[in-house]
């Protein structure tokens, strides 16, 4: 079996094993006029009858080189030789890319044209000519940029409507096939410009690495496959956890995020940001978001903001902390009462010679029963203080919160029990001691909203 028939069989097996094309489908072959895409077109045309799919040819002129118009004409005539429909597009990519990355702009414009063409003609798939060396270059490119699993997964045989029939093919197999069928193609001299990082990797770095490991392309292809499978598993896990933590109406990830392993935290933060903003976070931005302290914020692409207030919020601006001005008289009726929308509730029970209404694990205060009518709840105010054994004899409520490490968003709704003008109880934090009474009032307070949802 010669190289040409070997590559045909390999491509056929790849298409079948990955189910990249199906009977009756129309496939758009993206042909640049270069060697690889010309070989791909010849292979797909050869296999189309056997696999029962139809072909169309598309070419996008980026208008970056003087010879680009000639290349489009070459592809048009190539399609005519195969008796296949041809669809051409063009754009002044250099103008589109002002202030942006030229390569990324060209790629976006090209794929936008290919997808628009596929939609208009009813094509199910778009075939590109990426091969094993392209895969290896992509892995190395992402590795040099400090990528994680998602980057090292590189290119999949199929991503949405994009298929890559030659992804397992080596460059020497492609060249042998081209030579065997004497296929013409156009040489893009920009591929020799090592100012582009990918070209530098291909022309300078890869030859050195191949000298160390002649099977480097296969090895890096295996790395991509392993990382892709691991990444798929982690992505599925992320989706499950995200569904539990994400509060879409508020644009917030609950505080449960911070108890997860870092790998999941990163993925959830990135996924949430993309869902809200349609933008992507870099690794550095993701780490900065994970490291935010209470009430800290992070400016992000597109004018968006991430800030931490118990949960991790994503929005256009950081909302002001709530202010609660209610004064709520105590009701000693043995019924649980909600304290406005502070996230707390209380129960006040008069007792005479009885067992305590409060269990050991419930925070409560026992007061003389006659105090009931002059008690009320309110939230903190400037100047609030409690007695202290220190030199000043008073300790600010603000300092009580700080020492107990109560975050600002929780302090805003924390109830203070007031007798006249005196703070006599901060549930869980401070309470004034009273002498035992025969007739007493037991007051219990507890939170009704979990910390991560405040």
User: Is residue 103's pLDDT more than 90?
Assistant: no
Lowest mean pLDDT among 30-34, 249-253, 350-354: 350-354
Pairing of strands 375-378, 416-419: antiparallel
pLDDT of residue 452: 42
pLDDT (tens digit per residue) in 64-81? 999 999 999 999 999 999
Q: Identify which of 131, 118, 156, 159 has the alpha carbon closest to the alpha carbon of residue 25.
A: 118
Pairing of strands 86-90, 54-61: parallel
Q: How far apart are the first and last CA of the chain?
A: 69
Q: How far is CA 184 from CA 37, 48, 229, in A?
A: 11, 21, 37
The answer to whether 166 and 36 are in contact (CB under 8 A) is yes
CB-based burial, 352-384: b 16+ in 10 Å, e otherwise: eeeeebbeeeeebbbbebebbeebebbbbeeeb
User: Is residue 157's pLDDT more than 70?
Assistant: yes
Q: Do domains 3-223 and 248-315 have the same CATH topology?
A: no
pLDDT (tens digit per residue) in 159-214? 999 999 999 999 999 999 999 999 999 988 888 888 888 999 999 999 999 999 99
3-223: CATH class: alpha beta
pLDDT (tens digit per residue) in 395-414? 999 999 999 999 888 899 99
**pLDDT confidence band for 269 (50 / 70 / 90):** very high
Radius of gyration of the CA atoms of the chain, in A = 34
User: Is residue 360's pLDDT more than 70?
Assistant: no
What is the pTM (predicted TM-score) of this model?
0.73
pLDDT of residue 451: 45
User: Is residue 32's pLDDT more than 70?
Assistant: yes
The pLDDT mean for the chain works out to: 91
Q: Is 92 helix (H, G, I), strand (E, B) or coil?
A: coil
For residue 6, give the H/E element and its range: helix 3-17
248-315: CATH class: alpha beta
Residue spans of the domains in the chain: they are: 3-223, 248-315, 328-453
The answer to whether 28 and 2 are in contact (CB under 8 A) is no
């Amino acid at each position: 079996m010669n190289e040409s028939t070997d590559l045909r069989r390999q491509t056929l097996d790849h298409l079948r094993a990955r189910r990249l094309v199906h009977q009756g489908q129309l496939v758009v072959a993206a042909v640049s006029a270069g060697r690889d895409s010309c070989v791909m077109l010849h292979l797909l045309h050869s296999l189309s009858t056997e696999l029962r799919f139809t072909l169309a040819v598309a070419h996008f002129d980026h208008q970056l080189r003087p010879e680009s118009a000639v290349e489009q004409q070459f592809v048009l005539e190539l399609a005519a030789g195969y008796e296949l429909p041809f669809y051409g597009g063009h754009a002044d990519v250099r103008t589109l890319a002002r202030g942006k990355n030229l390569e990324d702009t060209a790629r976006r414009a090209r794929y936008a044209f290919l997808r628009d063409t596929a939609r208009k003609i009813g094509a199910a798939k778009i075939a590109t000519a990426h091969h094993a060396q392209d895969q290896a270059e992509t892995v190395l490119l992402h590795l040099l940029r400090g990528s994680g699993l998602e980057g090292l997964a590189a290119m999949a045989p199929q991503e949405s409507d994009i298929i890559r029939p030659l992804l397992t093919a080596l460059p020497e197999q492609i060249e042998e096939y081209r030579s065997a069928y004497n296929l013409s193609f156009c040489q893009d001299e920009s591929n020799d410009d090592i100012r582009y990082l990918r070209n530098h990797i291909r022309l300078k770095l890869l030859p050195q690495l191949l000298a160390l490991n002649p099977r480097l392309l296969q090895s890096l292809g295996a790395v991509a496959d392993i990382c892709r499978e691991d990444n798929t598993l982690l992505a599925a896990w992320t989706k499950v956890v995200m569904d539990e933590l994400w509060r879409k109406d508020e644009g917030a990830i609950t505080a449960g995020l911070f108890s997860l392993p870092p790998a999941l935290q990163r993925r959830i933060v990135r996924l949430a940001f993309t869902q809200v903003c349609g933008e992507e976070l870099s690794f550095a931005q993701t780490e900065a978001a994970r490291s935010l302290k209470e009430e800290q914020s992070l400016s992000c692409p597109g004018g968006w903001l991430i800030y931490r207030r118990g949960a991790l919020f994503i929005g256009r601006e950081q909302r002001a902390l709530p202010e609660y001005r209610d004064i709520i008289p105590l009701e000693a009726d043995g019924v649980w009462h909600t304290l406005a929308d502070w996230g707390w509730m209380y129960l006040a029970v008069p007792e005479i010679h009885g067992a305590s209404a409060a269990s050991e694990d419930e925070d409560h205060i026992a007061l003389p029963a006659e105090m009931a009518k002059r008690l009320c709840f309110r939230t903190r105010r400037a100047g609030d203080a409690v007695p202290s054994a220190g030199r000043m004899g008073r300790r600010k409520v603000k300092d009580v919160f700080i020492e107990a490490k109560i975050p600002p968003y929780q302090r805003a709704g924390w109830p203070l029990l007031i007798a006249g003008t005196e703070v006599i109880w901060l549930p869980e934090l401070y309470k004034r001691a009273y002498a035992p009474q025969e007739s007493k009032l037991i007051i219990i307070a507890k939170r009704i909203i979990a910390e991560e949802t405040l």
